[in-house]
Structure formats: structure tokens, C-alpha cells
Chain A
Amino acid sequence: MKLRLTLAFLAAFHAAVLFAAFLAPYHYAEQHRDYPFAPPTRIHFTDAAGRFHPRPFVYAIAQDTPGGDFREDPARLYPIHFLVHGRLFGVAAPGVLFIWGSDAFGRDVFSRVLYGGQVSLLTGLVAAFLSLSLGLLWGTLAGFYGGWVDRLLMRGGELFLALPWLYLLLAVRAFLPLHISTTQAFFLLVAIIGAVGWVRPARIVRHVDLNARERGFVLAARGFGANGPYLMRRHILPLTWSVVLTQATVLIPRYILAEVTLSFLGLGVGEPVPSWGNMLAEARQYHTLIAHPWMLAPGLATIPLLFAYLTLADILLERPAPNGTAQPTGKP
């Protein structure tokens, strides 16, 4: 039950981000220069005269003075239309609809959080895939064949673990060019984050393989003359799936945070493409944050996502391991 709920929530979250172009009322780069730092738009059902509208609407907003507070103009109201211009909802042109407020350039924060999630989530997913592939490859080779491959893995891995994780990430980033295009930055991020984190999954996979090698059915298959690749494909790899899955639920949220951190520090994906990290960087000035708390939205969006991944990881870790394989616990 808990597992299903968590999975459903994660699926919905990822789908919302995936279909940002449909769900978001604006494009991420669309600017409304007359509406800097507009607060979240209020959606009404009854107008100033007390009449009820079955279709929700918003009032026009305007500042009394530049930099002043926004006020609603009850004379002009704009009904919210659904399924217009290929988007789920929106209002007609002079009206604006910022359900989570707008940023310094009058860009819709809600839309940018959805679009920004594409960069952040995709980085997390692809980098985790990369780490797990590397880990699975090397861990299997080391665990199954042992010998120098194993020693190289263990000794080489130690070098990677000797550095605090964020220092390692930044050190690798330090040697790569600073000024690059957004696409390059994205692939660079994925490669760095993914390549830096392969050691732990590799060690865990190795551990599972070392145990599996001595299991009765593997020895039996070997006795019947099965060769290495066959044994690995047919008997060893299926045993590692459950730990790989668990590792994925641990790594993905961590890598999403890594992207957020790097972009926040200006070492990741840059403007105008939004990512949760570079959006949060705008909220870093405390006066911005105090006056416009909705700028925290990208940071707050990570909380339910991380919570769901964490719950999923806990459920998977608590689950009894299949056919008695000892599941090594993930180390912090």
C-alpha cells in the first residue's frame, strides 16, 4: 500500500515535469517586464459585486509605483481558459496568471519550476544510470573474476572515497572549462556526477557477487561446464538486480541535489534555461527572499520529491531479500 502510494506519487511528479510544456501556463523564458516579483496571483470565483462565476477568473494586477506592491484591479477580470494554445490553462493576453508568483524579469515561477525540474530530474536519472552501469560492470567483473581486477577496483575506489564527496565533485568540475553552452553544461554535469559516484554501487555489487559465486546452484552450473559469461548473465546478474534497484533510489535523489548544488554555485546549467539550482541562486539574496518568499518554490519542490525517494528506499531496504541473499545496507 505504502509502496504503491509512493510509486504513484513519484510517477505523477515525474510526469508533471516531463509534460511541463503542457502543464505550465508560460514558456520558461517568457518575460513580463511590467510584472517583476508579482506575488502569487489569486484565483477568484466571486467578483466584487458578489456575483458567482462558474469559470474561475483573475483580476488584472498593477503596481502603484515602480517597485511598489501589486494591487488587484476589480474592473478588469480575465477568465481562466483551459486547454488553450496547447497548454492546460492560461488567461488571455493582457491578463497574467502567476500561480506561484513571478521573478525579477516577470517570468512565471510555477512554469519555471516545472521546466527547471526537467534539467534537475534528468541529470539525477541519467547520472544515476551512468553510476550504476559503471558500478555494475566493474563490480561484477571484480566480484566474479577476483584477482587483479578486484584489487584495482578496491584500491582505485579507495582513492575516490578518500575525498569528501562535494570536494571531489567540485575538484573534477574545476579542471573543466567554465564558460560553456547549456547543452554542454548539462552533459558535463551528468558525466561528472555519474562518474564520481560509481564506487559505492560497485562495492555493493562486488559483495553480492562474491557471495553468489559460492552458492550451490552456481557451483552446480559450473560443474556442468557453464562458462563465465553464461554464468554471469544467467545466474549472477539476476541476483544483483535488487541491490541495484535499491541503490538507484538512494542515488537519484542525491544526484538531483548534486545538480541543484552545482547550478546554485554557478558551476552547472546557466540562465536562461532554468534548473532548480540556478533558480534558487536568485533567492540567495536575503532581501529578495524576505520580500518575495515565493522565490523559494524550486527549493520547496525538492522536498516532496526527496521524501518520496527516501520512503521508497526505506521500503526496499526493509523488504526481505530474495532467496536469502544478504543485502548490504547502504552506507551514508
Chain B
Amino acid sequence: MKYAARRLLHSLLLLAGVSILSFLFADLAPGDFFSEMRLQPGVDAQTVAALRARQGLDRPLPLRYAAWLASMARGEFGHSLAYNSAVGPLLAQRIPGTLLLTATATLLAWLLAIPLGVWSAARRGTWRDSILKVILSILLSIPELLLAIIFLAIAVETAWFPVGGMHAPGAESLPAPDRFRDTLRHLAIPVLVLVLGMAPVLVRHVRSAVAETMDSPFALAARAQGIPRRRLFFRHLLPAALNPLISLFGFSLGTLLSASLLVEVLVGWPGLGPLFLEAIMARDFALVLGVVMSSTTLLIAGNLVADLLLYRADPRIHTS
């Protein structure tokens, strides 16, 4: 319990650090939302200065940060100039999209990676293992960007899967099972790209973690006892190999969120990715910060879960 509280406090400090750093960095950066406006003829410097003053952008940095903290407490997370609304609700619309996509992809990738990894570790050094290794290396060398472009083109050409968005138009009126199926069909392409990008890395790590435990004396003893292979691998070796894999779960989340950003933009998935890109193009600082904080929270939360899982799985951490 004390461990959990300490990790939580650490996560909150990290979030605070990221927000302060973002404010500092934005303050040093040239130009803002209104400097794009200056390019239009008929908008003079006074107008821009007045607009800046009205948004409170001319106040000193600590005051602006305090104002942002206050608005965060109200759930607004600042004011988006491009959308002319509070950032909070904008984020709330998009976070479920990213969560749904990444959670599905993570689940599928691990479900695929664990049996495959164990399978190839059990066949270490055989031709099947080598073939899998080559296939994984090739998959790892294909950029997700390229995968997404190709799958999108195939999906559009064959009309097997819908492309763009999360629901078909008018899906709200459908009965619940149909709506569920509709969302699943929309998930297919982005999840496929993410799983193909992520699973090879996971399989390689599962394989090496399990292969390492295979050499330990207890594995030899278990084999000598005549424990069936399948039981040996899944009940004895896999749990012993779990530690690095739980850490990997935390690390892989960052990569997954990054890949998800790109895939979301490409397939028009209503997640944080497209919102982020819009915010960048519009130089909408509050929105950029909002997305940065959301993605950081997602990643830190994932790492926190991994830490706590590791704490549960490995009694050695209790003592340190």
C-alpha cells in the first residue's frame, strides 16, 4: 500500500514537471496562435495585442501557469483558441477513442505474442524457430506508416472493411449488438496495423525471457520429474519469465501510443492523434498542452499499472 502511494505521488510529480516544462518551452518559442493572424492584411498590431490581452496571454508566466492550474481544477484545462471552447470536453471526446484502439491492440498483441514466443522458445535452434525469426525481422522492418497506407488502400478497394471514423453514419440509431459489430469492423484496420507493428517486438522478448528460464536448474528438475511440456512451459517457465515481460508492458505502451497517433491520423480515427495535429497546425497552445498532458497521463498510468503488477508478481521488491 505504501509502495502504491509512493508510486502514485511520483507519477503526479512527473505530470507536474511535464506541465511546467511545457509552459517554459512554449514561453521561449517564437509565435503563437495570433501571430498567424498578423499575416492577414487589415489586422494591425494593436488588434492582436488587444486580443492577446483578452485571452490573458500578456500576463507573466507564473500567473498564466496558476490560471491554467485553476482551470484544470474546474476540468477545463485552459481555453482552446482554435475551437473557442474549453479544452477539457474536447479531450474527453477523444480519449475514449485512443483508449479503445490501444487497449484492443495491446490485448491482441499480447494474446498473439505469448503463445508464439513460448512456441519458438521451446523450439530454440530448430528451423521453425529460425523461420519465425526471419519473419519477425521482416515485419519489424516495415514502417507502420507503410502498413497503414497499404491496408487502407486494400480496405477501400475491396470494401471488406469500412475506413474512416469509429462508427458508420447513423450508427446511433442501431440496436446495441449491431452498433457493437459496426465499431468492431471500424476497429479492424487500425488494430491490425498496430498489432503487426507491436507483436514482433513482444514475441522476441517473450522468446528470450522464456528461453532464459529454460536453462535454469529448476526447469531441468521439472523436466526430469516428467512434467508434460505444455504444463512445464505455461505453468512453470512462463511465470518465472514474467518479470521482464511486465516491465516490457510498461515500456511498450509509449511506442504503442506513438504508433497509434500516426494510425489515428491516417485512418481518421477520432482519437487524440488527429486532434493533436490540428492543434499544432493552428498553433493552439492550450490544446497542444491538453493533448500532451492526456497522452502523458495515459503512459504514466500504464507504467504505474506495470509497476504495481511487478510488485505483486515479484516479492523481492517488497524488501527493497
Contact = CB atoms under 8 A, between A and B. Distances in A.
A310 B262 CA distance: 22
Contact of A163 (B18, B149, B262): B18
A265 interface: yes
A93 interface: no
A162 B18 contact: yes
Contacts of B280: 170, 173-174, 267
A10 interface: no
B257 A167 contact: yes
B18 A164 contact: no
Contact of B149 (A165, A174, A175, A283): A283
A299 B276 CA distance: 24
Interface string A155-189: 00011011111110011111111100000000000
B242 to A, nearest CB: 17
Contacts of A284: 149, 266
Interface residues of B, number: 56
B121 interface: no
Given A167-B261, A265-B265, A332-B252, A310 B137 contact: yes
A291 to B, nearest CB: 10
Interface stretch (B40-48, B69-77, B138-146, B169-177): B138-146
A257 B262 contact: no
B31 interface: yes
Interface string A280-320: 10011010011000001001101110110011001000000
Closest 8 CB pairs of A and B: A175-B29, A166-B258, A164-B257, A307-B141, A306-B141, A299-B146, A174-B280, A167-B295
A84 B299 CA distance: 56
Given A165-B255, A167-B291, A310 B261 contact: no
Given A164-B299, A175-B29, A284-B149, 7 more contacts: A165-B255, A170-B277, A175-B288, A176-B29, A280-B149, A286-B156, A306-B142
Instruction: Say whether chain B's binding surface is mostly helix, strand, loop, or mixed.
Output: helix
Interface of A: 158-159, 161-167, 170-178, 257, 260-261, 264-265, 267, 280, 283-284, 286, 289-290, 296, 299-300, 302-304, 306-307, 310-311, 314, 331-332
A175 B258 contact: no
Interface of B: 14-15, 17-18, 21-22, 25-26, 28-31, 137-138, 140-143, 145-146, 149-150, 152-153, 156-157, 201, 205, 248, 251-255, 257-259, 261-262, 265-266, 276-277, 279-281, 283, 285, 288, 291-292, 295-296, 298-300
Indicate the member of A162, A290, A302, A314 with the most B CB atoms within 10 Å: A162
A296 B148 CA distance: 12
A289 B157 CA distance: 10
B14 A159 contact: yes
B288 A300 contact: no
B295 A296 contact: no
A159 B18 contact: yes
B313 to A, nearest CB: 19
A296 B276 contact: no
Contact of A332 (B29, B157, B201, B266): B201
16 contacts: A161-B254, A163-B254, A164-B261, A164-B298, A166-B258, A166-B261, A167-B261, A175-B29, A175-B288, A257-B145, A264-B145, A289-B150, A289-B153, A306-B142, A307-B141, A311-B137
Contacts of A280: 145-146, 149
B143 A260 contact: yes
Contacts of A290: 153, 156-157
Contacts of B281: 178
Given A166-B261, A306-B141, A307-B137, A175 B146 contact: no
A178 B138 CA distance: 35
